[in-house]
């Protein structure tokens, strides 16, 4: 009741208003004139209206429906604001088309003038709708749906409705909207520690350097991507925590987070590969529980307890995969330590062999295993737990801050047993 009328009113009014302006420019690459006009692609182009309506009825929870609605609302508002602030005009003259396809083009022309261009609202909606459909389809149906949505995206060019810059800007806006309005999870903020603020400052500095370089270098727009990625990670250390990675309990980062943070994620993967050259994949510590780095391949013979926030499980198979994301280079607080130990205990009851991993298997995972050793009685003191882990995996890095939080956890365990 809200989205339909809002879409047609805002889109139509902005289009009509822009048609009266005399300051409307155009931005076209010379090679775009070689893009063919394909009349039949008006069918997939029009189909987005049907899929838009259906998408509101496939959501299986109130939260999913509301978040999806917020995304669609944001898409209309952001696109229309851009049309007003940065008006562009489509410059090609579409050939006359007869038959059913011609009728569809004439219907489109009745309410769509060539002034609502960048970012392409059609592209933004295509991305947002595909995210919802792929969530509720099996693998085969997902491939078919993905092909159709790709055809919709291409159709904005082959129907001569949009220029390439509209498509590029539409994809960027779509990913940002889907990232800022996640379907699952909540944005949470908590007061960062001094060390976290220091790391936030470093990432923020890196992001600002990329931002300035992108502004200073001709055609340096691609540098804005790593700038946004680093500034997003900086926001995580500044208080948003692991929510910036949007990692599920099953170990997967959201597709929007993977795209937006891709430059950082590539850097994190390169760093993991470089610093893990001289360390074993994993080492057994006690009772079938091993400590190691993030698996490079399938681990079908054991369960995985994943403590990384920044690494994506992808198609790595395991007997069981459970994620409890913790920020890299930070000491987990006592509440996170309690929760991670409880989850490890539950996972160990379900599987005889468990791999506890972080990026390198040196700090986050070592801290959790040390606490688990204390909780399970495999060690009677923090020093004994650390010594046991060090004897099996000598490369571990536990700072005085790690030892301090483990001592606090040990005191809690003693109070509970007494």
Q: Which of 93, 69, 41 is nearest to 183 (CA)?
A: 69
37 Cβ contact list (under 8 Å, min separation 6):
94, 95, 158, 159, 160
**Residue 3, phi then psi, degrees to nearest 5:** -65, -45
308 vs 72: CA distance, rounded Å: 31
Q: Is 306 helix (H, G, I), strand (E, B) or coil?
A: strand
| b/e sequence 247-258, b meaning 16+ C-beta within 10 Å | beeebbbbbbbb
Output the six-digit token pair for 84. 């007003």
305 vs 361: CA distance, rounded Å: 12
> Is residue 59 among the annotated active site residues?
no
Nearest-5° Cα angle at 99, 94 to 105: 40
Task: Tell me how crowded residue 281 is: count the other CB atoms within 10 A of its CB.
Answer: 16
Among residues 80, 282, 358, 415, which one is catalytic? 358
Whether 91 and 28 have beta carbons less than 8 Å apart is answered as yes
Could you give the residue numbers annotated as active site?
358
């Amino acid at each position: 009741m809200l989205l339909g009328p809002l879409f047609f009113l805002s889109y139509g009014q902005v289009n009509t208003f822009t048609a009266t302006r005399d300051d409307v420019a155009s931005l076209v690459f010379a090679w775009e004139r070689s893009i063919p006009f394909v009349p039949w692609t008006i069918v997939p182009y029009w189909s987005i209206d049907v899929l838009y309506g259906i998408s509101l009825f496939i959501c299986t929870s109130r939260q999913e429906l509301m978040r999806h609605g917020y995304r669609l609302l944001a898409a209309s508002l952001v696109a229309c604001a851009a049309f007003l602030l940065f008006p562009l005009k489509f410059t090609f003259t579409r050939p006359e088309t007869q038959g059913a396809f011609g009728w569809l083009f004439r219907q489109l022309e009745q309410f769509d003038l060539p002034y609502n261009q960048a970012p392409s609202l059609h592209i933004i909606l295509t991305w947002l709708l595909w995210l919802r459909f792929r969530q509720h389809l099996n693998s085969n149906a997902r491939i078919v749906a993905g092909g159709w949505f790709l055809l919709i995206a291409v159709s904005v060019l082959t129907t001569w409705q949009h220029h390439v810059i509209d498509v590029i800007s539409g994809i960027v806006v779509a990913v940002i909207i889907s990232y800022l309005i996640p379907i699952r999870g909540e944005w949470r903020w908590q007061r960062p520690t001094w060390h976290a603020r220091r790391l936030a400052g470093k990432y923020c500095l890196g992001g600002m350097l990329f931002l300035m370089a992108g502004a200073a270098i001709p055609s340096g727009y691609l540098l804005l991507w790593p700038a946004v990625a680093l500034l997003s990670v900086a926001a995580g250390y500044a208080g948003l925590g692991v929510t910036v990675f949007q990692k599920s309990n099953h170990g997967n980062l959201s597709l929007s987070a993977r795209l937006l943070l891709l430059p950082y994620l590539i850097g994190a993967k390169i760093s993991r590969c470089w610093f893990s050259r001289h360390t074993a994949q994993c080492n057994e510590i006690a009772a079938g529980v091993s400590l190691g780095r993030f698996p490079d391949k399938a681990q079908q013979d054991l369960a995985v307890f994943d403590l990384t926030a920044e690494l994506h499980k992808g198609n790595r198979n395991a007997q069981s995969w459970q994620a409890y994301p913790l920020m890299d280079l930070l000491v987990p607080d006592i509440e996170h330590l309690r929760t991670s130990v409880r989850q490890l205990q539950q996972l160990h009851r379900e599987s005889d062999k468990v791999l506890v991993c972080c990026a390198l298997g040196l700090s986050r995972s070592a801290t959790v295993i040390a606490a688990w050793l204390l909780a399970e009685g495999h060690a009677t003191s923090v020093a004994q737990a650390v010594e046991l882990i060090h004897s099996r995996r000598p490369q571990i890095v536990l700072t005085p801050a790690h030892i301090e939080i483990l001592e606090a956890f040990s005191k809690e365990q003693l109070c509970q047993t007494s």
